[in-house]
Amino acid sequence: MKEEVAHKGKVVKMTPQVTTVAILQHGACSQCHAAGLCGMADIAEKMVEVPTDPYAFYGVGDEVEVVLKASMGLKAVWLAYCIPLLVLMAVVLPLSALKVGEVITGISALAAVGLYYLLLYLFRDVLRNEYVFTIKG
């Protein structure tokens, strides 16, 4: 199993504290030979902030490889998808078993998931410190 996830990108901004790298994120359609014709290709540019290495040999406009530990990627999947699903099920199943109306059950489940994402948003600075990208030299 890979120990790190790497993406190629271009340095767009450098400060003494943070280097900003633009990464092109390709969707499934982008590899199709007809992607340009159908208009369904979903290519998005993502900006990643990396702590600036004072001894770096790269500058603005250079192609670099941004790396994140694979375990951090798996943790992100759990935080973004798996735990919200568990929260949703933890609300829907008991309320359904108690014969609460479908509308109330649905609104309660959505509110619980919304609250979960609000908590993630409030703790974004703590999470930002855990998910540190590096530039592979």
pLDDT in tens, 44-79: 788 888 888 888 788 888 899 888 887 787 888 899
Q: What is the C-alpha separation between 14 and 51, in angstroms, rounded?
A: 10
How is residue 3 annotated by DSSP? S
Query: How high is the pLDDT of residue 36?
Result: 52
Q: What is the mean pLDDT of the chain?
A: 84
Q: Mind listing the pLDDT tens digit for each residue in 71-94? A: 787 888 899 999 999 999 999 999
Helices (H), the chain: 35-38, 70-77, 83-97, 102-122, 124-130
In this prediction, residues 13-41 reach a mean pLDDT of: 68
**Dihedral of the alpha carbons of 55, 56, 57, 59, in degrees to the nearest 10:** -130
> For residue 23, what are the domain limits?
4-136
Quickly state the pLDDT bin for 12 (edges 50, 70, 90). Answer: very high
Token reading at 99: 């014969």
pLDDT at 114: 97
Stretch among 10-14, 23-27, 94-98 having the lowest mean pLDDT: 23-27
Q: With 60 as the cut, is the pLDDT of residue 111 above it?
A: yes
- The predicted pLDDT at position 96 comes to 96
Contacts (Cβ under 8 Å, ≥6 apart) of 130: 72, 75
Domain count along the chain:
1
Q: What is the pLDDT of residue 31?
A: 55
For the residues 97-106, what does the mean pLDDT come to? Answer: 96
